[in-house]
Amino acid sequence: MNRIKQLFDKKKNILSIYYTAGYPNLDDTIQIAEALQKSGADMLEIGFPYSDPVADGPVIQASSKKSLDQGMNLKLLFEQLKDLRKNVTIPVLLMGYVNPVLQFGVENFCKACAEVGVDGCIVPDLPMVEYEEFHQTCFEEHNLSNVFLITPQTAEERIHKIDGLTNGFIYLLSSSATTGKNLEVGDTTENYFSRIKSMNLKNPTMIGFGISDKQTFDKACSYANGAIIGTAFVKAIESGNIEESVSDFMKNFKG
Amino acid sequence: MKYKVNEKGYYGDFGGAYIPEMLYPNVEELRQNYLKIIDDADFQKEFHQLLKDYVGRPSPLYLANRLSEKYGANIFLKREDLNHTGAHKINNTIGQILLAEKLGKKRIIAETGAGQHGVATATVCALRNLECVIYMGEVDIERQAPNVARMKMLGAKVVPASSGSKTLKDATNEAMRDWINNPVDTHYIIGSVVGPHPYPDMVAIFQSIISEETKKQLIEQTGNDQPDYVLACVGGGSNAMGMFYHFMDDEDVKLIAVEAAGKGVSSGFSAATTYLGKEGVLHGSRSILMQTEDGQVVEPHSVSAGLDYPGIGPQHAHLFKTGRGKYVSITDEESLDAGLLLTQLEGIIPAIESAHALAYLEKMEFKGGENVVICLSGRGDKDLDTYIKYFNL
């Protein structure tokens, strides 16, 4: 059974961490994964960098650029990930933009994910209709979850459609924003979170974008199965010893 | 109609809407409404009234005698340079601002390369009293200073794009990010036939006035609405698409699209997309783009800011792949020489973008008597610094 499903079956308040592969140093990818698992992360989203990340704010743009400048690409990432499952047992997703996947070949991509033990993908600019028509079979053959995003503006009918196509979790954006904005939970956001919660979707939900500390994490967990932290973590590991920065960052979410 | 968009938003293998969910509601709202709004009689009336009284259309189709004599063909220039604000870009911004109003939008954003689209957008925003934010690459802000000043004077906020190559591609990224962060009240006026469906179709429809007029003018001037050749420069490809639009189904009319070779197609400093590119996804549509083997977008180069873009619109990719259009390229130097030539033979200083199309005349062979239409997409005032430096004037 897919590791993602197992996790949601047994645990609440799931903490998922996003980081950019090949950042801060090209070879840090596996070390960060292991350090995160050790410090209590429940799930990982490893970003493969793209030159034109339109959905990202300045921090993830900068980490992507640095990673690319250091020579990261999908082929190298899959090489690095050959060692992923030596020690890492928590679910791992790859997250990135569609063009590198298309150039790698969707089928090769799914196959490579399955080989290294990746459990799912988040490709924000892969349209639902393209996925359904051309790629769903391939993802499912390789037991890969494909995670879709929804925003406060996503219509109810479309949310149900997304719920039907997803088999992992639904990525609930706290607001329509690029990554790295602060989460302000006002009435509108609470209404939106409550509205989604009351829809009783078949998939679990994870709240992302704007989660940066224990307070915002706890708030998110009261509406969803957990939350995703990206920008705040990428910022925290910018310099210094990886193991120490990871463990210091994760301490914020204990207790 | 075989070269037009299908109901799924595709031109053959190209097009579609590859956008993150954050942009979906906006793009979907447009998709559902754009044809309904554009086809409405009141909209058409207002659009054409503004094109006539405000833009100064129809733009002349001018038989350039001395140029014709030099090349041995009848060379007609479609004078988009004479439009208000100095380029074809305003045809699209007039259309889109009226559409944005119908959709109830209060705030307008746009990207710009040479600054022509930025100026055209800032102009219609002043005209219709809407807030205007223009994203422009830092490099372009530097090389197109007069246009930056014009935008500011028109009341627009000009925001520098400082990521990547700091040119048109990056300005487009920043505009998309703005739209993601302002999903309700903002309309994004894309300036070229690029972006997610329905943008390429919508912009092509607004620019198609160029070929619509050209056909009528050709009948008046030559008795035949089908020339032998139609030429236009291509960055993203909006003036070319407007120029080709009503000729696409006239299979005897040869369509020639001129890309920017920069310092040469093999120099590593080029924007010749069909020559150097591969199929992929950029800025929301599947098209042809310059990219690495890993799918990272390659930074383009052209002396002309308006052609300094690593992709082409999906409809161009389709015309290229089907062979309906011939896609060629012209270097920085060839374009500047052609710009000076037109200035001295006809007393018209062309934008360096448009000079790329003119430069291709050198590479064509004429039997004599052929009718050739070239889209003179913009005027060269904004490029004086570049001309002055290159020719030591």
What residues in A contact B24, CB-CB < 8 Å? 153-154, 158
Q: At what angle do helices B89-102 and B24-39 cross, to 10 degrees?
A: 100
The pLDDT tens digits for A226-252 are 999 999 999 999 998 999 999 999 999
User: What was the pLDDT predicted at A182?
Assistant: 75
AA letter at B86? G
ipTM for the assembly: 0.94
With an 8 Å Cβ cutoff, are B22 and A149 in contact? yes
The answer on pLDDT for A1 being more than 60 is no
Q: Strand B10-11 to strand B14-15: parallel, antiparallel, or no bridges (unpaired)?
A: antiparallel
Strand partners, A20: A47
Question: What is the arithmetic mean of pLDDT over A129-143?
Answer: 93
- For A91-112, what is each residue's pLDDT tens digit? 999 999 999 999 999 999 999 9
Q: Which two tokens stand for residue B78?
A: 């479609």
| CB contact (8 A) between residue B295 and residue A50 | yes
Give the model's pLDDT for residue A100: 98
Residue B163 in this model has a pLDDT that exceeds 90:
no
| Cβ contacts of A125 on chain B, cutoff 8 Å | 18-20, 281, 284
Q: What is the pLDDT of residues B88-124, one digit of tens each?
A: 999 999 999 999 999 999 999 999 988 999 999 999 9
Q: Which of B192, B354, B377, B382 is catalytic?
A: B377
For A52-105, the pLDDT digits (tens) are: 999 999 999 999 999 999 999 999 999 999 999 999 999 999 999 999 999 999
pLDDT digit string (tens) for B340-392? Answer: 999 999 999 999 999 999 999 999 999 999 999 999 999 999 899 999 999 99
**Which pLDDT score, from 0 to 100, does residue B348 have?**
98
The whole-number pLDDT of residue A175 equals 84
Q: Confirm whether A187 is a catalytic residue.
A: no
Per residue in B287-315, pLDDT (tens digit) is: 999 999 999 999 899 999 889 999 999 99
For residue range B233-268, list pLDDT tens digits in order: 999 999 999 999 999 999 999 999 999 999 999 999
Q: Do B295 and A68 touch (CB under 8 A)?
A: no
User: B19 CA to chain A: closest CA distance, Å?
Assistant: 4
Residue A254 has a pLDDT of 75
**pLDDT at residue B1, rounded to an integer:** 62
Give pLDDT tens digits for B12-57: 999 999 999 999 999 999 999 999 999 999 999 999 999 999 999 9
User: How close, in Å, is residue B294 to chain A by CA atoms?
Assistant: 6
Residue A56, pLDDT score? 92
Q: What is the mean pLDDT of chain A?
A: 94
How far apart CA B361 and CA B231 sit, in angstroms, is: 9
Residue-level pLDDT at A179:
84
- R_g of chain A, CA atoms, integer Å: 17
Chain A contact present for B177, CB below 8 A = yes
Look at residue B10 and tell me whether its pLDDT is greater than 70.
yes
Helix axes B199-207, B314-322, angle to 10 degrees: 80
* Known active-site residue A69: no
DSSP letters of chain A?
Answer: --HHHHHHHH-SSEEEEEEETT-SSGGGHHHHHHHHHHTT-SEEEEEPP-S--TT--HHHHHHHHHHHHTT--HHHHHHHGGGHHHH--S-EEEE--HHHHHHH-HHHHHHHHHHHT--EEE-TTS-HHHIIIIIHHHHHHTT-EEPPEE-TTS-HHHHHHHHHH-SS-EEEESSS--TTPPP---HHHHHHHHHHHHT--SS-EEEESS--SHHHHHHHHTTSSEEEE-HHHHHHTSSS-HHHHHHHHHHTT--
Predicted pLDDT at B94: 98
pLDDT mean over A39-45: 98
Smallest Cβ distance to A99: which of B8, B180, B280? B280
pLDDT band, very low/low/confident/very high, at A255 (cuts 50, 70, 90): low
Which pLDDT value is given to residue B25? Answer: 93
Note whether B176 contacts A: Cβ–Cβ < 8 A: yes
Contact between B330 and B321 (Cβ < 8 Å): no
Please give the structure tokens belonging to residue A65.
């650029």
Question: What confidence category does residue B167 fall into, taking pLDDT thresholds of 50, 70 and 90?
Answer: confident
Q: What pLDDT shows up at residue A177?
A: 83
Yes or no, beta carbons of B294 and A103 under 8 Å apart:
yes
